[in-house]
Amino acid sequence: MLALEFPPLNEILRWRDLFPTFNKVALIAVAAALIGTIIFLIAARQDGSKAPKGIRNFAEMLVEFVENQIIMPAMGKSGMGWTPFLLTLFIFIYLCNLPGIIPVIYMPATARMAIPLFLAVLVWLVYVGVGLKHQGLGYFGHMIAPPGVPAALYPLIGPIEILSNLVIRPFSLAVRLFANMLAGHILLVTFSLLTEELIIDGDNIIFRVLGVLPFAMLILMTVFEVLVGFLQAYIFTILTAVYIGSSAHPEH
Amino acid sequence: MLTAVVKQGASGIEVSLTRRVDAIAPAPRADEEEGDHSEGDEAHHAEVDCEFPFDTTEDAAASEYPCEEGPSPILPEAKELLWGGGAFLAFLVLMRFFLYPKLRKGMDARYAKVQDGFEQADAARAAARAEVTEYEAALATVRAEAAERVDAARATLAGEREARLAEVHAEISSKRDAAMAEARAAREAAESDVRSAVTDVTSKVLEMAIGRAPTEQVEAAVADVMNSEVRS
């Protein structure tokens, strides 16, 4: 007989504080910020007039990725001023996602709600601020009466736009990142437990042979999580760019 | 805690899911910690097994979150918000005001250098193209001049050749006329010799035949016959 015990969700998400008010998620977030800072510090110290190589090449590749793949399609050339913010956002989210597949750590900081929520609220403040700066109170006016929409539809479209801009956008930004990373983390835990129970603790040759399946899935899901971590950082960042761009230029 | 039990039965592998509620016990209240623990030793042990994040019973008791009664895993925790947000904002400030501008400055300087190189290369290419055009124009002029000179030379050569040919033809013609006159004189001399010889022979034959020398009239007739026969 084989008993597979699935731990409660809190058991795989919550960690004992490293010291009061500082836990593993906080450690990952601080480490992400530090690693990002160190990469760009080293890159910035190298001579930029020569052909880039090593860390500087990597940092410039990140900058060009954000500029060409995120800002240009979402905001156009006028959005280049947002490169530092979007670059920081992308790097921070990706470095918070990455520990989900690093052995020993095995915990994406974004699988907890705090960081996605903070970032979503920050993005919300930024794009509402940009809207108010560029359009004044007309920003809210455009939500109530979107340009190009027949006046008869204002009572229908207006509330939807207000709800979408002020509530759904930040909510979906936070939940999309959090839920994807949490789901990936739970899947990895599930396949790890199944592999351990069947191959290591299994008292029957059939269970041990069957254990190859969850192990294969564990490998597959780990590789998939590399892609998911990158993709979620990219999606969060490009949506931020789209929201800021639409606040700055409502005609688009 | 959710427990899946897998066993091999008579009809194959059987799987059953059960929720183990006996292991869940509420966190000990402060007033209970002072009391007697003897009656709950087993339950207390189960409770320790359940509370994964805590190493000791004291940690579990001190915690406000026993394992299955912890906070909602969806709700954000204040410390994570503060540390996560603080880390991000610090990173953002560093990137916005120090790291990115320095990196960008280097990138822009290099791009400008590369652009300058491109522009210089374009200018060099344009200059080279102008030189090639100029060279081709000069080459065309030289070729036209050369063609003119060749045509003039050819015309001169053709004139000289014609003159030379006419000269040679004239020389050949005069030589031929001289040769023909010479041949005619030689023939006439030979005819005269033959005629006199034939006249002599004829006179001798007639003299032998008739016994006397032929008259001048006969000799003249023989000479006429000779002349007409030799010419034919």
Q: HEC profile for A189-225?
A: HHHHHHHHHHHHCCCCHHHHHHCHHHHHHHHHHHHHH
Q: Is the pLDDT of residue A17 over 90?
A: no
Residue written as token pair 């001289």: B178
The residue of chain B with its CA nearest to that of A86 is B92
Dihedral angle over CA of B78, B80, B82, B85, nearest 10: -130
**Distance between CA atoms of A196 and A202, rounded to whole angstroms?**
8
User: What is the count of residue pairs from A and B with beta carbons less than 8 Å apart?
Assistant: 183
Taking only the tens place, the pLDDT of each residue in B153-180 is 999 999 999 999 999 999 999 999 999 9
ipTM > 0.85?
Answer: yes
> What tokens does A48 get?
């930029």
Cα–Cα distance for residue pair A113/A170, rounded to 1 Å: 13
Bridge partners, B12 (sequence order): B9
Q: Which one has a higher pLDDT value, B115 or A18?
A: B115
Mean pLDDT of chain A: 90
Q: At what angle do helices A83-97 and B100-210 cross, to 10 degrees?
A: 100
Angle at A53 between CA A50 and CA A55, to 5 degrees: 120
d(CA A183, CA A186) in angstroms, rounded, equals 5
Q: What are phi and psi of B15, to 5 degrees?
A: -120, 130
Mean pLDDT of B14-40: 42
* Cβ–Cβ below 8 Å for B83 and A13: no
From chain A, pick out residues whose CB is under 8 angstroms from the CB of B105. 48
Please name the amino acid found at residue A241. Answer: A
pLDDT band at A252 (very low <50, low <70, confident <90, very high): low
Q: What phi and psi values does residue B3 have, to the nearest 5 degrees?
A: -120, 130
Give B142→chain A minimum CA distance, Å. 48
Give the closest of A7, A46, A96 to B1, CB-based: A7
Which member of A48, A113, A122 has the closest CB to residue B76? A113
Rounded CA-CA distance A166/A172 in Å is 11
Report which of residues A115 and B191 the model is more confident about. A115
Give the per-residue pLDDT at B3.
54
Phi, psi of A239 (to 5 degrees): -65, -40
Residues in B closer than 8 angstroms to A96, CB to CB, are 84
Higher pLDDT pick, A187 / A51: A187
Q: Do B110 and A50 touch (CB under 8 A)?
A: yes
CA-nearest of A198, A152, A217 to A4 is: A198
- The contacts of residue A217 (CB under 8 Å, 6+ apart) are A191
Tell me the residue length of chain A.
252
**Which of A240, A235, A236, A227 is CA-nearest to residue A100?**
A227
Query: Which helix H or strand E contains A125, and what residues bound it?
Result: helix A114-135
pLDDT in tens, B73-121: 788 888 899 999 999 999 999 999 999 999 999 889 888 989 999 999 9
Q: What are the backbone angles phi and psi of residue B108, rounded to the nearest 5°?
A: -65, -40
Task: State which residue of chain A sits closest to B90, comparing Cα positions.
Answer: A33
Whether residue A118 contacts residue B84, with contact meaning beta carbons closer than 8 Å, is answered with yes
CB contacts of A113 in chain B (<8 Å) are 74-76
Of A224, A246, A251, A199, which is closest to residue A74 (Cα–Cα)? A246
Of residues A11, A17, A115, nearest to B84 (C-beta): A115
Q: Under 8 Å CB-to-CB from A218, ≥6 apart: which residues?
A: A188, A191, A192, A195
